[in-house]
Structure 1
Amino acid sequence: MCGITGIIKLEGTLSTEEKEKIQVSMKALHHRGPDAQNVFFDTATGMGHCRLSIIDTSNAANQPMESFDRKHIIVFNGEIYNYKELKHLLKEYPFQTQSDTEVILAAYRAWGPACVNKFRGMWALCIFDKEKNSFFLSRDRIGEKPLVYLQQENNVYFASELPVLLKLLPEQKKLTLNVAGVEQLFLYNQRHLPWNTTIYKEVFKLPPGHNLIVQEGKLHLQQYYRQKHTKKQQPYEVAEAAYEQVIQKAVSRCQESDVPLGMLMSGGVDAATVASHLTNKSIIGYTIGFSKHDPEILRAKKIAEKIGMHHETILLSGNKTRNKFVREYASLIAQFGEPLVLFPTVYTKLIMQEIRKKGIVVVLTGNGADELFYGYDGSNKLLLVSRILEIVDKQRMIKNLLSVLAPLGIFSDNIRDLIGLAQEAPYRRKGYFYRKHAALLRKTLFSKPMASLLAHTDPGEHIDAISKTCAAPFIDAAQWAGLRMENEHSLTLGPDTGSMCCATELRSPFLDADVISFAASLPAKYKVSLRRIENKKIVKKALAKRIGKQLTYQKKQGFGFGFPIAQLLRTEWKKEFLNYLEESLKMELFQKDEVTRQCNDFMNGGRRHEKNMVTLFTLGIWYKHNKHHLQSTARSS
């Protein structure tokens, strides 16, 4: 796990000033890679790397790394877990290190851009091919590792983090606020700007599962990852055995490390599943809480005892956490460079800080299981809706009747939504909720100039595109969209931001490519039923055989459960909350009277507008620290 930065010249040569900017940008990346910092300069490019040493910790494995004949140079952030397997297939390459980085170089030389199809892991990388005078940038399938870029005239800039990218730009360069991106923050289940957009119009995220080729002055974006969703018909017992095998292999891969590993041991099913498959018995499970009597801690201890794992508890002071929470939240937003409406990122940082003090560099988590195996509470309701829609789709008479009843306005909100979903094309059903919510926001919260700017944009367009790739029942398409876009904040963005600020690497075995493929092939009936206790069905049934039913089927609370964020914003954090709310209004994107009305309702204990208030609060933090990067008037965007 590291940080990368660089400038690619489409024409001309790298100037002294640009070389200096790369050096400056690396200082802003130091938190991602404190172990080594190096640069590579050539006529057409400059690339910087800050290293967190995990695989082959020797200096020989530092980056930027050149191939043995110096024809290829790489900067790479992430881990390729199956690098040893690939190394056996690349015997003709004269390896000089034991690193996964050198395996990437050898794989690229042997297989070209198609090499990424063989990788199992997480990555963001850039390879300079001197022979072809081209650059190959790539990002892992799910987007665990970040990579942003910007093309300006004859330069392409890239970096692991947005604030680092901005340090590469000319001093006078001002950027345009992306109001469509701002809208995304408020919509439905979003808490972030998804991979198809950034807070600035000129800046792009390299989409997960894509490569970017820079050659002959042009940029070519290529998608290499397309997940199949063909359902495999098999007895449940066969499916469960296959599930156990694929999880075991994924957990085994994630244990590849030359530095100490730890396990983020919540009292939940997902962490328990990963922990129960660990073969490295020296790995310690860490649980964090505010009291030794915390139910999460007590449950985690019991699970650890059951599977024979050494377990440690980290206790935080509730008072100290409350006192510094807003400051920590603001610092994480500053590091991320965009609004990220995710308070648990603070918990991630606090946990990683304490674990890092114990000398642990790599931490495994159970992240991703809820999205893949339908563990969220709403999954049962979603299954019911999905089954109803399957019936409606087969019966044209019912569909025609619903189209007649829809305008009458005599139904509850839930029934109206069901009717609305039935009238949509299957691939547009998840996006239906985004379009509906956006219509309300454009009429109420957003200012008239902002609503006008958004008038010709479709807020559900990219959710539709993802859903369209999953020709399956509504529940499968909706959950796939959640994995690929809607839940990026908790799956990839928050974990990377919260851990890398402490120079620790989080690994998620459930996000292994083979686990994802297996989950995509599994019928929904093996994941969820109409009974809430059977959410994440196959995961729980398999785990119960390892730790027992009592521990498996208890309700997980999670760290931070009961920590009254909304109430604290109304009381102890009221001053900061109102100040940042006022800062967001300076953007001239919102109707001040409506914001005031919603704020009063929230301050009086109302929950209806809580998401809007928290989002405005977060946006205000971002704007206060980044408005100097923007063109003078936000509304000009």
Structure 2
Amino acid sequence: MCGIVGIWDSRGTRAIDRQALLRMNESQHHRGPDETGLHLAPGVGLGHKRLSIIDLATGQQPLFNEDRSVVVVYNGEIYNYGELIPELQALGHVFHTRSDTEVIVHAWEAWGEACVERFRGMFAFALWDENRQTLFMARDRLGVKPLFYAQLPDGLWLFGSELKSLMTHPGLKREIDPRSVEDYFAVGYVPEPRTIFTSAMKLAPGHTLTLRRGQSAPAPRRYWDVRFTGTNRISAEEAQRELLERLKESVRLRMISEVPLGAFLSGGVDSSAVVALMAEQSKGPVKSCSIGFDDPAFNETEFAQQVADRYRTEHFVDRVETDDFDLIDTLAALYDEPYADSSAIPTYRVCQLARKHVTVALSGDGGDETFGGYRRYRMHLAEERMRSALPLGLRQPLFGLLGRVYPKADWAPRFVRAKSTFQALARDSVEAYFNTVSIVRDDMRGLLFTPEFRRKLGGYRAIDVFHEHAQRAGTDDPLSLIQYIDLQTYLVGDINTKVDRASMAHALETREPLMDHPLVEWMATLPSDLKLRGGEGKWLLKKTMEPHLPNDVLYRPKMGFAVPLSRWFRGPLRQRVRNALLDGELNRTGFFNRAYLEHMVDAHESGRRDYSWPMWTLLMFEAFLRVGGHAPAMASAAAAPAETVAA
């Protein structure tokens, strides 16, 4: 696991500013504290920060081919590199290292842009081919590893593993994109391919970008997508047997390491399954790491301990105070963009714990999306059955009216909170799901934003992102559709972002067996009733793991990695939140309606309403502005550049 950066001249061979490249590289020192590498040539500069995992002696980067005409900087792991080496050697390529990095340069020589289709793993890399005058960038299929890029007005291109590396360059304009603000307040992160700034982009998962000197830049090319067909009519028993073998293989591939290796163990189904399969394939005890909380409502350590005891893992537990809110500014600096998932706090802490004992940790991330585990999936399917009973033309006026007149009752038990249900039934499937996952919903954003800000949006709405993905999903199956949307949005923008930044802050490599792309592709061929059956999410995974895990772990209610925001904002963080929302950077942006901010703070403090999630989203946006020192300059949506730019 590493950090990469680069500067490339699209118009000629101007000398690259070495100091600018160094600043970009050192901004990501946390990603790779073991070694630093630079390559400068006319018109191109590449930088690398290395966290040594495989081929400790000879895996330094930037890494070249035999005649030094091709050079690469790379972040990630290609797990099938051992299979690709003899294939490439048979084609005449000579290897000088035992690293997976060298596979990339020879695969490029052999297969060109299609090389990425041969790689199995998590990766983001940039490759310069001197003979072809081509810069080639690629990101793995599921977006585990990040890659940011920008074109400057003078024709220079910047790229890096984190946005902060681009932000060190004086040529990058920090103008906030109003569409990204709208997206952030809807879902809590800035979805790919945009960033918070108009001047920078993320390379989307499963995409490559090929830039040739002197030519116009094409749009990024999609080289992979998952298709939810549901056409595999395998029996449940056969599916369990095949899933177990696929899980074992995925875990085994991710246990290759020349440094200490372990796993996160939360006590949930996904991480417990990974630890169980690691233990069954490991020669020695697995090192497992858990975070406990002093509040029983958030503490899962007893379930993690059951798994640790069963498999005799070397188990490490740190206890965290539930009032562990001192990380707010640390997280704002770490994520570079506004990011509102409060579970980033315990994730940061468990990565901190794990790094004391291991350099590589396997996680259970991706299990909910792959196997159908979120509670919201069950709720959505129940609503879908109700929506299918009436045509949209009847549902919209009937349930729309009920949704408007029924009182909001956040304080009440869920079964009497009918307002949200009525609103959901008045919408189509995509709009209803978007409303379910939104932090600050459409009506609230209408009150939160000023008229000037809404004009800047030019009619853009955050739901447009969901509609775009839904149109490409290629499925009408209700569960498959929202799984596909989550794979394109929430998994990448929230989960993978959270884990990458939190782990790399501690120079810890994380690996995700449940995001193995052949496994994801195979699961997408299975009918939805093997994933969600009888109200039980992850049905196939749980049945498969019954011989390997306690029933208490498999079938208890899902808890999640949560923090007590509502209590914080009425207690120890009360004044801090009031100051941040009413007297901080938010008011200087001109984005927000102060009267509505005052209403939110007063209503939450008094207990009349629970605004904890919208307030946390605002608090993290204020921290982004303050910690990053970002001027509140804002482009209009119409003025923001298109995703395809000219070189």
Whether these two folds match at TM > 0.5 is: yes
> What SS class does the counterpart of residue 546 from structure 1 fall into?
coil
Write the deviation string for residues 219-268 of structure 1: whole angstroms up to 9, x where unpaired. Answer: 22111112121111221112222211221111111112111101111111
Tell me if 1:587 matches 2:589: yes
> What SS class does the counterpart of residue 213 from structure 1 fall into?
strand
Change (3 A) 1:194 1:87: same
CA contact 1:186–1:611 (8 Å) conserved in 2? no
What is aligned with 1:10? 10
How many residues are paired up?
Answer: 613
Among 473, 476, 480, the alignment partner of 2:480 is 476
What is aligned with 2:106? 106
Aligned-pair CA distance for 1:517: 0.6
Among 507, 515, 520, the alignment partner of 1:516 is 520
Among 77, 90, 106, the alignment partner of 2:75 is 77
Change (3 A) 1:25 1:73: same
Q: Distance in 1 between matches of 2:369 and 2:609?
A: 26
Aligned-pair CA distance for 1:212: 0.5
What is aligned with 2:381? 383
- Matched to 1:55, the amino acid is I
Tell me if 1:64 matches 2:56: no
Aligned-pair CA distance for 1:490: 4.1
Q: Distance in 1 between matches of 2:421 and 2:318?
A: 46
Identity %: 28
Tell me if 1:87 matches 2:88: no
> What SS class does the counterpart of residue 545 from structure 1 fall into?
coil
How is 1:176-195 mapped onto 2 (pairs within 5 angstroms)? 176-187=175-186, 190-195=187-192
Q: Distance in 2 between matches of 1:217 and 1:292?
A: 59
CA contact 1:431–1:464 (8 Å) conserved in 2? no
Tell me if 1:354 matches 2:364: no
- Matched to 2:195, the amino acid is T
Q: Distance in 2 between matches of 1:391 and 1:84?
A: 54
Aligned-pair CA distance for 1:400: 5.2
Among 413, 416, 422, the alignment partner of 2:419 is 413
Moved more, 600-609 or 335-344: 600-609
What is aligned with 2:209? 212
Aligned-pair CA distance for 1:434: 8.3
What is aligned with 1:545? 547
Aligned-pair CA distance for 1:550: 3.7
Change (3 A) 1:435 1:327: closer
How is 1:43-442 mapped onto 2 (pairs within 5 angstroms)? 43-58=42-57, 60-91=58-89, 92-153=92-153, 154-170=155-171, 173-187=172-186, 190-215=187-212, 216-220=214-218, 221-231=220-230, 232-278=232-278, 279-282=281-284, 283-290=286-293, 296-306=300-310, 308-318=311-321, 322=323, 325-358=324-357, 360-389=358-387, 398=391, 401-402=394-395, 405=398, 409=402, 413-414=419-420, 416-421=422-427, 424=428, 430-431=433-434, 439-442=442-445
Aligned-pair CA distance for 1:301: 1.9
What is aligned with 1:452? 455
Q: Distance in 2 between matches of 1:513 and 1:462?
A: 23
> What SS class does the counterpart of residue 241 from structure 1 fall into?
helix
Write the deviation string for residues 183-232 of structure 1: whole angstroms up to 9, x where unpaired. Answer: 11221xx1211113211111101111100111134322111112121111
What is aligned with 2:645? none
Aligned-pair CA distance for 1:439: 4.2
Aligned-pair CA distance for 1:528: 1.0
Q: Distance in 1 between matches of 2:287 and 2:164?
A: 34
Q: Distance in 2 between matches of 1:292 and 1:465?
A: 41
- Matched to 2:282, the amino acid is N
- Matched to 1:547, the amino acid is L
- Matched to 1:230, the amino acid is T
What is aligned with 2:531? 527
Change (3 A) 1:83 1:599: same
CA contact 1:463–1:481 (8 Å) conserved in 2? yes
CA contact 1:438–1:459 (8 Å) conserved in 2? no
Q: Which runs of 5+ in 1 are unaligned?
A: 393-397
Write the deviation string for residues 590-637 of structure 1: whole angstroms up to 9, x where unpaired. Answer: 110110011111222355422221111000000112344564899998
Write the deviation string for residues 399-420 of structure 1: whole angstroms up to 9, x where unpaired. Answer: 5544664565488535544543
- Matched to 2:165, the amino acid is V
Q: Distance in 2 between matches of 1:178 and 1:633?
A: 6
Q: Distance in 1 between matches of 2:151 and 2:236?
A: 50
Write the deviation string for residues 412-435 of structure 1: whole angstroms up to 9, x where unpaired. Answer: 5355445433xx4x6666457689
Aligned-pair CA distance for 1:12: 3.4
Aligned-pair CA distance for 1:89: 1.6
Aligned-pair CA distance for 1:540: 1.0
> What SS class does the counterpart of residue 165 from structure 1 fall into?
helix
Q: Distance in 2 between matches of 1:416 and 1:379?
A: 17
Superposed CA RMSD: 2.6
Q: Distance in 1 between matches of 2:488 and 2:109?
A: 30
Among 455, 462, 466, the alignment partner of 2:465 is 462
> What SS class does the counterpart of residue 285 from structure 1 fall into?
strand
What is aligned with 2:410? none
> What TM-score does the superposition give when structure 1 sets the normalisation length?
0.90
CA contact 2:338–2:624 (8 Å) conserved in 1? yes
Change (3 A) 1:70 1:440: same
Change (3 A) 1:514 1:179: same
Write the deviation string for residues 456-502 of structure 1: whole angstroms up to 9, x where unpaired. Answer: 21321221121222213122111221121034344200000100000
CA contact 2:36–2:50 (8 Å) conserved in 1? yes
Q: Distance in 2 between matches of 1:571 and 1:212?
A: 49
What is aligned with 2:414? none
Change (3 A) 1:596 1:254: same
- Matched to 2:426, the amino acid is G
What is aligned with 1:578? 578
- Matched to 1:341, the amino acid is A
Moved more, 515-524 or 285-294: 285-294
Change (3 A) 1:169 1:113: farther
> What TM-score does the superposition give when structure 2 sets the normalisation length?
0.89
Q: Distance in 1 between matches of 2:349 and 2:619?
A: 21
Aligned-pair CA distance for 1:383: 2.1
Change (3 A) 1:15 1:281: same
> What SS class does the counterpart of residue 459 from structure 2 fall into?
coil
What is aligned with 1:395? none
Q: Which runs of 5+ in 2 are unaligned?
A: 407-417, 641-647
Change (3 A) 1:295 1:625: closer
Q: Distance in 1 between matches of 2:557 and 2:439?
A: 32
Q: Distance in 1 between matches of 2:396 and 2:431?
A: 16
CA contact 1:431–1:461 (8 Å) conserved in 2? no
Change (3 A) 1:37 1:432: same
Q: Distance in 1 between matches of 2:469 and 2:236?
A: 28
Judging by fraction of residues, say which structure has more helix. Answer: 1
Moved more, 205-214 or 460-469: 460-469
What is aligned with 1:493? 497
Change (3 A) 1:341 1:281: farther
Q: Distance in 2 between matches of 1:332 and 1:124?
A: 23
Aligned-pair CA distance for 1:86: 1.5
Q: Distance in 2 between matches of 1:267 and 1:551?
A: 7
> What SS class does the counterpart of residue 350 from structure 1 fall into?
helix
Write the deviation string for residues 534-569 of structure 1: whole angstroms up to 9, x where unpaired. Answer: 11111111111222434422234345x5x4333223
Aligned-pair CA distance for 1:25: 1.5
Moved more, 598-607 or 331-340: 598-607
